[in-house]
Amino acid sequence: MSDRRTKILEAAADLICRNGFQQTSVDDVIRESGLCGKAHFYHYFKSKEELGYAVVQHRFEQFAEEGLAILRDPMIDPLERLERFIDAEVADQAEQECRGGCPFGNLAMEMADAHEGFRKRLATVFERWSGQLQSVLWEARPQLRDDVDIARMARFIIATLEGALMMSRVTRDVTHMEAIAGDLKRFIAAQRRETPAASVS
């Protein structure tokens, strides 16, 4: 990917995160990215819509490389990886001072009902995120109760984190997300198999 195209994507992603897709204009993106004019923009993207799709893809690639990387570390116990991932999401929200939230959740709220192209792409993003979580949970399968539904649990983790992000963004208080993350980790711990009690001789 060219440096200029990346710069446009980053500028557009920041604007969309702050203002929403519909309130972000091509002129805003040109100005924010320091382009000379629309000809440069349209050299890389045929339309604002195409740019929006590229932003979704770009942001998920970043999330997969950075945010989801901990889930793929084979040297760490899978359930510990999951806890570290949840903690990292809380830390990221605290670092942002509870502004911005999740770019995928934000776009889903704004665009899923209004634009089928965005809805489908965002559905794919959440499916891929769920797939990463399911992989970790399958690794942890020997530690989990037999009745745990892996796919359902992965969806529940995402929904809980998205709700926590929204609440902390609205209240500008990361303690809401910290509390919900703590409840989520306790829920995950409750899905573990019971350890047989040691026999007393």
Asked if the structure places residue 58 within a domain, the reply is no
Separation between Cα atoms, residue 33 and residue 23, nearest integer Å: 17
Between 41 and 179, name the one with better pLDDT.
Answer: 179
Q: How confident is the model at residue 1 (pLDDT cuts 50, 70, 90)?
A: low
Judgement on whether residues 33 and 121 belong to the same structural domain of the protein: no
- What's the domain count of the chain? 2
**pLDDT given for residue 104 in this prediction:** 85
Q: How confident is the model at residue 186 (pLDDT cuts 50, 70, 90)?
A: very high
The residues pairing with 192 across neighbouring beta strands, listed in sequence order, are 144
Would you say residue 61 lies in a domain?
Answer: no
7 with 72, same domain: the answer is no
- State how far the Cα of 38 lies from the Cα of 106, in Å rounded to an integer: 27
Residue 175, domain member (yes or no): yes
CA 104 to chain centroid: 6
Asked if the model's pLDDT at residue 139 lies above 60, the reply is: yes
Q: What is the pLDDT of residues 43-89, one digit of tens each?
A: 999 999 999 999 999 999 988 888 889 999 999 999 999 999 999 99
Query: Are 39 and 75 in the same domain?
Result: no
**Is the domain of 117 the same as that of 172?**
yes
Please give the Cα distance from 126 to 4 (Å, whole number): 28
135 and 181 co-located in one domain? yes
What's residue 98's pLDDT? Answer: 82
Q: Are residues 96 and 176 in the same domain?
A: yes
**83 and 36 share one domain:** no
Backbone angles phi, psi at 144, to 5 degrees: -100, 155
25 and 94 share one domain: no
pLDDT score of 19 more than 60: yes
Q: Is residue 100 part of a domain?
A: yes
Indicate if 10 and 109 belong to the same structural domain: no
Q: How many residues does the chain have?
A: 201
Judge if 183 and 122 occupy the same domain: yes
In Å, how far from its chain's centre is CA 31?
Answer: 27
**Residue 196 confidence (pLDDT) above 70:** no
Domain membership of residue 169 (yes or no) is: yes
Residues 27 and 98 occupy one common structural domain: no
Domain that holds residue 77: 68-190
